[in-house]
Amino acid sequence: MASDIVPRPGVVAEADIERPTPEPADCLAPGEEPIATASLSPGWIAVTDRELLAFRPEGAPPLVRIDRANVTGLAVRRAGGQRFLGHAPGAILYAVAGSALGALLLSVSPQRLIAVPDAPGAGQLETIVRTLGWAMGLLGTVLLFTGVLAGLVAVAVLAYWLLSREVALVIERGGADPIECPTTRTVGTRTLRELETALAG
């Protein structure tokens, strides 16, 4: 019975349809010929007189058509850890601010700053001062610990991004989001040169 359970809520039944990778010529208008084609493994890119077509099997949508006039640039960029890279500046800022504030709170002692008079009824004030000192120490420890942790996470994300071999050929479009085509560094660099020559012609 476990095979009948569908993990996605609301889906009664589903079927995955595997489609073969289309050839560039199959995606062009009748009578249109590609000027240049390049394999990305996976996927491909084709350039015609009017369009640049990018096929990415895992993309949404898989096939993208871009007017050549809208292509403003090409680049091969690192793609590993890209999702988390945008959070690195905030993590570094929190690491610096949290660690500094935590160290400051740990270095300040309310017992030294507030003099409790030796008089009847001063016991309640002394209890309040001690409770304040305990709370400041706890908050300082939490801020210092989380600040150091945030710094280590930011360094790990940056190191992964720098050392990752995951790259993407990025097609910059005027007035729209760029198109990213996953590939390898070698294939991406070769494709970049081929497309640069074809688009310049």
Structure tokens at 114: 């507030």
Name which of 22, 19, 24, 21 is nearest 34 in CA terms.
24
Per-residue pLDDT reduced to its tens digit, 168-200: 888 888 777 888 888 888 888 888 888 887 777
108: Cα separation from own chain's centroid: 39
* Residues 17-80+165-200, CATH architecture: Roll (2.30)
Supply the pLDDT for residue 43. Answer: 83
Tell me the pLDDT band of 149, cut-offs 50, 70 and 90.
very high
Q: Distance (Å, rounded) from C-alpha 181 to C-alpha 161?
A: 17
CA distance 24 to 34: 8
Indicate the pTM of the whole model.
Answer: 0.53
Establish how many alpha carbons lie within 13 A of residue 130's alpha carbon, considering only the half-sphere containing its beta carbon. Answer: 6
C-alpha distance from residue 136 to each of 15, 39, 51, 103, 104 (Å)? 58, 61, 63, 11, 10
Predicted local confidence at residue 120, as pLDDT: 59
- What is the strand order of the sheet 71-78 is part of? 71-78, 167-173, 176-183
Q: What is the DSSP letter of 64?
A: E
Residues 116-133: pLDDT tens digits? Answer: 566 555 566 667 777 888
Q: Cα 67 to the chain's mean position, in Å?
A: 28
